[in-house]
Amino acid sequence: MIGLKGTMSVIDNSGAIIAECIKVMSGGRYARLGKRHTCDEVVCVVKRARPINPSLIGTQAATLKVKKGDVRHAVVVRTKKEVGRPDGRYVRFDDNACVLLNQKKEPLGTRVLGVVAAELRQKKWMKLVSLAPRVV
């Protein structure tokens, strides 16, 4: 359940470390993983990012990295709030996490580093699921 000002760790290799939610795209108050398979998108500000290697500045690789203060779209992949599965299971993670997206709703980074929730197994996010090392 991530709402305005909610912080999430970013688990891809786009360069961001922590992002803060500024808008929940689904129109609700909170972004969730959702029953019945909906993963909410969110607009977020990058609060902390990895420093861009100075030798890379000006190259194409640098343009893909995000800086502190960038505003990006993201999809929530883990929540601390438990999400119910249709078979009666509830799954809870120890933190909130997201993956940054570009304008075309594709993941910005090329790798996902960490567990993601199985709620992501929808047509929309199949690329993300295939990148994820572990889906629970």
Residues that bind other proteins (CB under 8 A): 78, 82, 87-95, 97, 114-115, 133-134, 136
Smallest distance, Å, CB 115 to other proteins?
Answer: 5
Check if the beta carbon of residue 95 is closer than 8 Å to that of residue 79: no
In the bound state with other proteins, the residue whose beta carbon lies nearer, of 87 and 103, is: 87
Smallest distance, Å, CB 79 to other proteins?
Answer: 12
Residues contacting residue 105 through CB under 8 Å, at least 6 positions apart: 41, 73, 124
In the bound state with other proteins, the residue whose beta carbon lies nearer, of 13 and 26, is: 13
Smallest distance, Å, CB 11 to other proteins?
Answer: 9
Cα(58)–Cα(79) distance, integer angstroms:
36
**Buried b or exposed e, range 34-64, using 16+ CB within 10 angstroms:** beeeebbbbebbbeebeeeeeeeeeeeeeee
In the bound state with other proteins, the residue whose beta carbon lies nearer, of 48 and 81, is: 81
Smallest distance, Å, CB 113 to other proteins?
Answer: 8
Check if the beta carbon of residue 110 is closer than 8 Å to that of residue 10: no
In the bound state with other proteins, the residue whose beta carbon lies nearer, of 17 and 45, is: 17
